[in-house]
Structure 1
């Protein structure tokens, strides 16, 4: 199953410096790319004359079997909200805490009204990193340092470190804010540790999700 998700990326990412590219304009560039992709997926021949991209008689084959391909958008800025309303069939949060989510979803819904579009109620997603263990675990310390330096955010607000009940409580908080799709990223060191964290999630969290997998 293919579920494409698009965002403008992190302005602090080292790839920008490594490639000598300016982060300015990446939102407009993304908008043009999304418009082109949408047209290529549905039209036989595409002409496009934008600020960043220009195409004449462009096409792709074979086209998607689905007539309306899923296209999820990430980001929480005003521009990302408008982008979601214009192009998205779903919205995927990146690092936003539950208390931030409700206002973003409400803003997306208001923007959708202006666009004359709709996004299904169960097409709003969230993500968080988790660890079965304690905050003193070396892997958590490393991930926290990276999170602060790379993203400029507080890991205490978004990481979930503890046991299965802590994970379920965070999922419930997101669900109460309007989220029904989740990406959970294990915090670990090496394949064996990450696999163990994934198994703990399956054993201790999935059985407790009954009743939460619904639109709130």
Structure 2
């Protein structure tokens, strides 16, 4: 998170100036974090190149028309640099209450709403009925498609992975070890093939935190609480060598795109993002696997 408009602006401008491909914001209603779509729209106004992603945009509990309209607006204002990733949201009961949706309704709501959102962003006039919403003869874009190329999804359960295979253009994992990403990619590609759908093998991503010198105690505590069966080094590497090992193992598993998250908020965003970029370049330069993948 950040403490002011100026701090966020410095972070965004530093990310673009230091050559990062994209900037990502997560969505968490009950925490002290900004709403992703408005914040990314602000980021679009002060940048020209960097792409802007959501990780993830929560669908259950929302009107598909309202959400599609917000995404269309953001995509137009950033000249097509928006990279939306959709999901069910976290498993926390406080988040479900905030979105006014029960745990059991999250999956059905998503399944009903996602095709509506895709069609609306595609410029179609949509009529769709569900026990969660009623859409009648709605077109949000004036007839032309929104400048959004791909719609990705998150998720790790088999049900979520099959949903990715059926509906999404890409998959973004988070807090996963290489065994999990390999198996998840296999489930997605196998299920997609089984329904006659070809899933782009270049559209598998992973988000993970990285610490340059030490893992903050708060991050270690979070990992040990949320993922007690996983070694923290696999989920949040510390230092260039560990970063290289994590990237190599997930690349071998089929991951092709990465989102790195600083393990703690830096004092200076500009120098921190430059240092992180140098670590990433050093990690990939010393690896045959990653060099071949660039």
What TM bracket, shorter-length normalisation?
0.7 to 0.9
d(CA) in 1 for partners of 2:108, 2:219:
31
C-alpha displacement at 1:199, in angstroms?
Answer: 2.4
Off by >6 Å, runs of 4+ in structure 1: none
1:166 paired residue number: 242
Of 169, 180, 189, 1:109 maps to 189
Report the counterpart of residue 130 of structure 1 in structure 2.
Answer: 210
CA displacement, residues 92-116 of structure 1 (integer Å, 9 cap, x when unaligned): 1121111211111011011101332
2:25 aligned partner: none
Measure, in 2, the Cα distance between the counterparts of 1:14 and 1:155.
27
- Which of residues 249, 252, 260 in structure 2 aligns to 1:184? 260
Mapped pair 1:198 → 2:273: yes
Structure number with greater CO (CA < 8 Å, separation at least 6) is 1
Q: Paired residue for 1:87?
A: 167
Deviates more, 1:119-128 or 1:199-208: 199-208
1:71 corresponds to: 151
RMSD: 2.5
- Deviation of residue 178 (structure 1)? 0.3
- 1:143 corresponds, among 219, 222, 226, to 219
Give the Cα–Cα distance (whole angstroms) in 2 for the partners of residues 54 and 172 of structure 1: 47
Unaligned ranges ≥5, structure 1: none
Offset at residue 9 of structure 1 (A): 0.9
Structure 2: state its 5+ residue gaps. Answer: 1-80
Taking a change above 3 Å as real, the CA distance of residues 164 and 126 of structure 1, as seen in their structure-2 partners, is: same
What's the offset of the Cα at 1:34? 0.9
Given that 2:219 and 2:263 are in contact with CA atoms closer than 8 Å, whether structure 1 keeps it comes out as yes
* Aligned positions of 1:45-60 closer than 5 A: 45-60=125-140
Q: Which residue of 2 aligns with 1:10?
A: 90
Instruction: Give the alignment's TM-score, normalised by structure 2.
Output: 0.64
Q: Does the Cα contact within 8 Å between 1:48 and 1:54 map onto a contact in 2?
A: yes
* Structure 1 contact 81–108 (Cα < 8 Å) conserved: yes
